[in-house]
A and B are shown apart, each in its own frame.
Chain A
Amino acid sequence: MEERSNRNSREAIFESIRGALAASKVLDAKESELHHAAEAAAYLQPGIKHDVASLVELFKENLEAVDGHCIIVETRSDVVQALYEIINKLQGTYLKAKRIAVSDSSEIERLVNLVDVDVDTFAVAPTASEVFNFDVGITYAQAGIAETGTLVLDSSRERNRLVSLVPPVHIAILNASSIVQTLGEALATLRQAEEVSPIITLVTGPSRTADIELTLAIGVHGPQELYVIVNKNLEE
């Protein structure tokens, strides 16, 4: 019965849309503003094209402008060192950082295993009921957008959806070569995939709100600290 009522409502709405548009035809002809048809949108191109090194700098500058931390490193062992420094520092704060969750990328797990810090709990991609019990979530970012300091998290490439969201600290590792300059370029890449991933998230800085007297408060529901380790991969 619900099926039928849903079909009826759908039909009624489409009928109403088509009826209204038909009724409007005569009036539309008189509206000059409609004569300019929509140009098919193309992804907006950057004015000046930057090289990779300056994209990394631009990314860092824009991420820091929205209260994110950015550490630029050159090799895999630097990444391990950077992770060590971040976690070690956090362990001295109220955030404790002794319960660490990671995405299910095997490389992330290997990297974290190399970090020489005390860990109480460690989990790979904990479930919705478990994930609240972690202080730090570590994932990859599948791409970065330099002009806005934005991370692109594509959850079809690794299980990062909850790990990047629920723990108070999110550490993302980003390869310098996957930083694009503009939002348009990032969107174009996401669209090129044979099928758009079920869940893609753009992340620009830590969670924030200004709902109380427009006073900025960092870390309301999402992570309150966001660290991005950009790896330039210079070892080869």
Chain B
Amino acid sequence: MNHVTSETFDENAKAALADSQLRGALRNATSLFGKRRLAAAQGLTNWEDLRTQARAIKDDVLLHLDQYLENFVSQAEARGAKFHWARDGAEANAIICRLAAERNARSIVKSKSMTTEETHLNVALEAAGIQVIETDLGEYIIQLAEETPSHIIVPAIHKTKRQIAELFTQELGIPPTDDVAKLTSTARATLRDRFAAADIGISGVNFGVAETGTIVILENEGNIRLTTSLPRFHIAVMGIEKVVPRFADLDIFLKLLPRSGTGQRLTTYQSFITGTKQNAFDDGPEELHVVMLDNGRSRMLAHPVTRQSLACIRCGACLNACPVYQQIGGHAYGSVYPGPIGAVITPQLMGLEKTQQLPYASSLCGACREVCPVKIDIPRLLLHLRGEITEKSSPEVQQAKGRTMERFAFKMWRLMMLRPWAYNLSARVGRLFQGLVVKDGKIGRVKSFVGPLAAWTSGRDLRPLDQKSFRDKWASDQGKS
């Protein structure tokens, strides 16, 4: 696998920008999803109220997470579910590998789960000699191609049908075709055998209802229903933040999530699973194991700004709305969670050392906040993390490339902005020296040792300082000119 990491965000982004096929695909997908989302939201008269309510519910859950978790777990346990607690990804993977080994499992089918992408579960299972098959069509394509997903909702958004057709020809031996229906039915036929043979099904969880112990999973394809219905054992992996208090809350979240994600009023299927089956002869698995994953989530509760991150319902709307994501796609972020929400979650999950570029990978335009169904103030989170980076992070981060210079520049800036004489003097000095670079009333490309100037003028002309500043004009004629 050619894993890119968040550390090299800058280079990853440049590589993505050079990939015209990727950019075309991204442009189509993000604009289509954006339009569908808007139409779906406008189809409800109370969209804004629903967002407000959803956020209030999430805030309530997060402020009392311990209580709601206890309720959820005791209700589900009373109905036969078994719970396993994982402080981090490695522990979650170890639990699942152990459950599989105890049941002599050879083959596992998996439905799309960002949480298991986060823990890199497949790598762990394969290392333990257990075959694991992704069954969501997009995830299946990604798995065949040995890649990672680039979008929360559409994992293979970066691949064209021609690339997928070539992949299927190579891996599954079908004759070349560019018929999407044929590609889809090929995947269906191939995966049917896997479903029939699987010992264990692994799924994610969208919502866990505290008052009933129910887990709710949304999908369109039917692979989640197959994954959770056919094998003898079902393992659900759930982030500890995914609880909602009441069954009634689902009414709100089931209105928000599909509309925000794909613009659908409802996804094709919602599975409500409450414990295990009542009679041995009923359809469905014999055992339900729920793996509760922390992996840095509980830490985020410690501050009201960071806590917002845990309200995320993984709809992907902020990705589609983000001008940066629209240009570079998901892989550049080097994390399973890309886009604006990824730029705030990834550094909190993985620490700032290897992710410090991500909070800066935004123009702070606020489009993400505008579309977020649970009103997460992502720009504020980005600013919070930027503040952590410059002021509270490890020396390694504080002294990273360029930051020492930047800090010095802002110290100078502060001195200048606190003293009008220094501010005026700097402007005068600027006017004096800009003559070196101003031509025809503008500053063209400058190959300068002054990094920001070179960066700006690489693609844009720069407007020079006015010969007379506003304050000078005001001083001479009270702003009449």
Contact = CB atoms under 8 A, between A and B. Distances in A.
Interface in B258-277: 262, 265-277
A198 B276 contact: yes
Interface residues of A, number: 80
Contacts of B284: 155, 161, 198-199
B32 A13 contact: no
A212 B184 contact: yes
Nearest to A161: B283
Contacts of B298: 13, 16-17, 19-20
Contacts of A42: 248
B225 A9 contact: no
A128 B161 contact: no
B252 A44 contact: yes
Interface residues of B, number: 96
Interface in A185-216: 187-188, 190-191, 195-215
Interface in B207-265: 212, 214, 220-223, 225-226, 229-230, 240, 245-252, 254-255, 262, 265
B304 interface: yes
Interface stretch (B133-141, B342-350, B448-456): B133-141
Contacts of B221: 207-209, 220-222
Interface in A26-41: 27-28, 30-31, 33-34, 36-41
Nearest to A11: B85
Contact of A191 (B59, B225, B247, B294): B247
A17 B225 contact: no
Given A183-B254, A207-B268, A213-B180, A222 B283 contact: no
A187 B478 CA distance: 68
Interface stretch (B11-19, B119-127, B188-196, B390-398): B188-196
A12 interface: yes
Interface stretch (B152-160, B331-339, B401-409): B152-160
B262 A37 contact: no
A133 to B, nearest CB: 10
B273 A198 contact: yes
Interface in B57-109: 57, 59-60, 63, 65-66, 69, 79, 83-87, 91, 95, 98
Contacts of A28: 63, 304
A183 B255 contact: yes
Contacts of A38: 53, 56-57, 59-60
13 contacts: A17-B65, A20-B299, A34-B304, A36-B56, A162-B283, A183-B254, A195-B274, A198-B273, A198-B276, A204-B269, A211-B141, A220-B223, A222-B222
A2 interface: yes
A66 interface: yes
Contacts of B480: none
B32 A214 contact: yes
A123 B181 CA distance: 30
